[in-house]
């Protein structure tokens, strides 16, 4: 158990120094050896690099703009995530953004985080997702409107790996029957013939005159760097996959023949007709532009996941599944028959000048749209049903004997947003802003309160203290252990209006009567309506005191086995006045500290994290006494004068602290290496990763 040490007794101690012994020299050499693991018995054996700040986190400044000018004065929502939001990423900040108002924030995040995901949600709930690198603790990005997204650059294979043979600048006649051949450079091929199980990857640019695919198992792959023009018709009898740019002359049809397969992940500009034939399979994940007709023949299976433009007629005699956008500039004819059907899914859109419905068009999932600008015709076999709206802008002219029922309705009001796949969209977003703050209800965490809009969560994090400042302790870092979370509420202008916090006192391993408080980056006058804590008097900045004597809060220490008190929770909230932006107020640990309230010490004995400044009530005369090496002028504070050891440490998780008298270095096996490497190794030393912990020394 720690003994009570009074200042009078401590002041008689003389701190001495000695030359480095062999062990210290060895430890220093270990630290200088990149990749070496440092093993020491106690904190004070660690060689701390000059200027090491003991931070497991850092502040990242974020400034985001958008070019999305849709929706007038209604704000878009931007959210910042650590990790992919589609796979469990954690949201760390959010707020308003528009073409005239950037989103700015300061977010404290773990040193291990090197990138953010950005999600811009428009008032109509259409989204754009981007991944951005953190550079020099800054993120600056412009988020474009979804419709500006560039198609045709989906990642795929290349010609740097997996090539059995590589041919640079191929020309003349080329024939392949087996293996994988990569064609690079300038492509000028008269006849390209594939048979057997041959695989040909094209990474270059140029032209191909004739394509002969003599086997349904042969593969022709155009990579993302390919840019190829076909000068005559392109018959596909095998497997063709495009990740790049394809085109054909105005006299060259593209024919996907029986058992042939064509998958487009890039861009295809067909100069004449596009003809899927019996038992063929077509999947469009990118952009296909057909200069004349598209005839989807009987037995073919066509799936459109993105954008398909047809400048002449579109005739469907097979199975067509539309998940994206189809634009026909002449007449779209949906033929009847037992195996013929046009299906639309989840907000898809068929946009045509004229239409003739002689078969079935069915909608699935969320409502899709058929939009006709000219004439609508259909015979008695024609049926429009399911989750879709039929919109003839001028009204159905006829002759019209087709049926609209089974969930389908005749309406033009359906809203479909503009996107990278749908450049037209339809209608106006049904935007509701109940409180009139410029944030749509769908994006507003407080839709009925004009003074609040967004919740910004931070944590859980933990701060752990040694309590014998200005003298060193035993470095079990459990004299006071507090975990905490914050919810920082901002308004539509991204100004902080309220702070909601939860602090959990988990351990009181010190023998002093320590108090705990947090200083916030606002003036005392700007904090009001405080609940769950005391707004301390005599301070320029807002300081909230959770408790003044930990022994009155927790009877047991929670650091010795079998001697346990329940953690104590403090739910704290206060309102924030003034115009404190999320960039100035920030999201972080702020300035937590303890002080020694034991008789003979007092409120002036504040202990803060390294690099933090004391409050107005600290006794500045104590700095530089004992083992303290603080320099208030430079802000290099709360590190010792004989090795830069700290009195507090902050960890960006709910930290499992060391048990009594167990040096933190002996509880976390990578801690010493993290310190000695100046933070370059094992920045995640506090995690429960295999080999990172000595469980015997953790409470």
pLDDT score for 136: 97
Spacing of C-alpha 612 from chain mean position = 30
Pairing state between β 568-576 and 496-507:
antiparallel
Spacing of C-alpha 626 from chain mean position = 46
How many Å is the maximal CA-CA distance in the chain? 107
Q: Vertex 105, ends 674 and 483: CA angle to 5°? A: 50
DSSP SS3 for 441: helix
pLDDT score for 20: 37
DSSP string, 255-312: EE-TT-EEEESSEEEESS-EEE-TT-EEEESSEEEESS-EEE-TT-EEEESSEEEESS
pLDDT score for 430: 80
What length is written for the chain?
A: 699
pLDDT digits 0-9 by tens, 172-200:
999 999 999 999 999 999 999 999 999 99
Q: Could you tell me if 480 and 594 are in contact, meaning their C-beta atoms sit under 8 angstroms apart?
A: yes
CB burial class (10 A; 0-12, 13-18, 19+) of residue 29?
exposed
DSSP SS3 for 686: coil
Which parts of the chain sit beneath pLDDT 70?
1-36, 145-154
pLDDT score for 12: 32
Q: Could you tell me if 280 and 257 are in contact, meaning their C-beta atoms sit under 8 angstroms apart?
A: yes
Q: What are phi and psi of 175, to 5 degrees?
A: -130, 135
Distance between CA atoms of residues 69 and 147, nearest Å = 12
pLDDT score for 70: 79
pLDDT score for 147: 42
pLDDT score for 543: 98
Handedness of CA 443, 447, 452, 456 (dihedral sign): negative
Distance between CA atoms of residues 425 and 338, nearest Å = 32
Query: What Rg value do the Cα atoms of the chain yield, rounded?
Result: 34
Measured distance between the N- and C-terminal CA atoms of the chain, rounded to whole angstroms: 15
pLDDT score for 145: 65
pLDDT digits 0-9 by tens, 331-369:
999 998 777 899 999 999 999 999 999 999 999 999 999
Q: Could you tell me if 300 and 279 are in contact, meaning their C-beta atoms sit under 8 angstroms apart?
A: yes
pLDDT score for 35: 53
Nearest CA among 32, 27, 11, 40 for reference residue 668 = 40
Distance between CA atoms of residues 199 and 183, nearest Å = 11
């Amino acid at each position: 158990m720690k003994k009570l040490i009074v200042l009078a007794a401590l002041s008689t101690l003389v701190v001495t120094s000695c030359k480095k012994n062999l062990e210290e020299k060895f430890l220093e050499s270990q630290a200088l050896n990149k990749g070496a693991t440092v093993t020491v018995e106690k904190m004070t054996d660690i060689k701390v690099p000059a200027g090491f700040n003991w931070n497991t986190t850092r502040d990242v400044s974020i400034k985001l703009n958008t070019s999305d000018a849709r929706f007038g004065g209604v704000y878009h929502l931007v959210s910042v995530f650590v990790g992919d939001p589609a796979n469990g990423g954690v949201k760390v900040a959010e707020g308003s953004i528009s073409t005239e108002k950037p989103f700015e924030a300061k977010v404290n995040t773990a040193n291990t985080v090197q990138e953010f995901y950005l999600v811009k949600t428009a008032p109509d709930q259409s989204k754009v997702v981007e991944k951005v690198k953190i550079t020099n603790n800054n993120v600056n990005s412009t988020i474009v409107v979804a419709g500006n997204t560039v198609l045709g650059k989906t990642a795929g294979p290349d010609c740097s790996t997996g090539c059995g043979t590589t041919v640079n600048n191929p020309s003349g006649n080329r024939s392949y029957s087996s293996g994988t051949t990569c064609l690079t450079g300038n492509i000028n091929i008269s006849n390209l013939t594939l048979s057997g199980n041959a695989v040909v990857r094209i990474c270059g640019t140029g032209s191909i005159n004739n394509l002969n695919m003599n086997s349904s198992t042969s593969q022709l792959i155009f990579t993302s760097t390919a840019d190829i023009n076909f000068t005559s018709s392109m018959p596909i009898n095998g497997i063709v996959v495009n990740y790049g740019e394809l085109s054909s002359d105005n006299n060259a049809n593209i024919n996907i023949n029986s058992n042939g397969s064509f998958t487009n992940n890039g861009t295809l500009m067909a100069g004449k007709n596009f003809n899927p034939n019996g038992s063929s399979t077509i999947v469009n994940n990118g952009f296909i532009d057909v200069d004349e007709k598209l005839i989807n023949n009987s037995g073919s299976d066509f799936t459109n996941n993105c954008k398909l433009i047809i400048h002449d007629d579109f005739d469907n005699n097979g199975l067509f599944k539309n998940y994206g956008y189809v634009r026909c500039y002449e007449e779209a004819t949906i033929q009847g028959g037992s195996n013929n059907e046009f299906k639309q899914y989840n907000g898809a859109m068929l946009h045509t000048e004229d239409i003739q419905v002689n078969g079935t068009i069915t909608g699935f999932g969320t409502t899709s749209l058929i939009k006709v600008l000219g004439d609508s015709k259909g015979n008695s076999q024609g049926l429009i049903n399911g989750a879709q709206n039929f919109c003839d802008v001028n009204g159905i002219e006829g002759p019209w004997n087709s049926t609209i029922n089974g969930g389908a309705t005749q309406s033009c009001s359906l809203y479909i947003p503009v996107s990278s796949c749908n450049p037209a969209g339809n209608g106006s977003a049904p935007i509701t802003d109940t409180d009139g703050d410029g944030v749509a209800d769908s994006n507003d965490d407080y839709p009925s309160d004009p003074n609040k809009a967004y919740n910004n969560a931070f944590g859980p994090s933990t701060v752990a203290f040694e309590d014998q400042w200005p003298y060193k302790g035993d470095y079990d870092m459990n004299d006071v252990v507090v975990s905490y979370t914050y919810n920082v509420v901002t308004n539509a202008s991204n100004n902080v209006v309220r702070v909601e916090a939860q602090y959990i006192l988990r351990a009181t391993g010190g023998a002093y009567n320590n108090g705990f408080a947090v200083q916030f980056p606002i003036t005392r006058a700007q904090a009001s309506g405080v609940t769950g804590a005391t707004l301390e008097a005599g301070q320029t900045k807002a300081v909230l005191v959770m408790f003044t004597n930990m022994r009155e809060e927790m009877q047991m220490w929670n650091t010795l086995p079998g001697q346990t008190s329940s953690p104590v929770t403090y739910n704290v909230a206060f309102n924030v006045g003034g115009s404190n932006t999320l960039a100035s107020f920030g999201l972080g640990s702020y300035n937590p500290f303890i002080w020694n309230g034991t008789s003979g010490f007092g409120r002036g004995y504040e202990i803060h994290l390294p690099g933090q400044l004391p409050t107005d009530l600290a006794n500045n005369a104590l700095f530089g006494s004992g083992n303290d090496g603080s320099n208030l002028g430079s802000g290099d504070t709360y590190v010792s004068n004989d090795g830069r050891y700290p009195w507090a440490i902050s960890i960006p998780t709910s930290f499992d602290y060391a048990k009594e008298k167990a040096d933190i270095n002996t509880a976390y096996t990578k801690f010493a290496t993290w310190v000695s490497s100046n933070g370059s190794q094992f920045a995640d030393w506090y995690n429960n990763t295999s080999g990172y912990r000595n469980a015997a020394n953790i409470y």
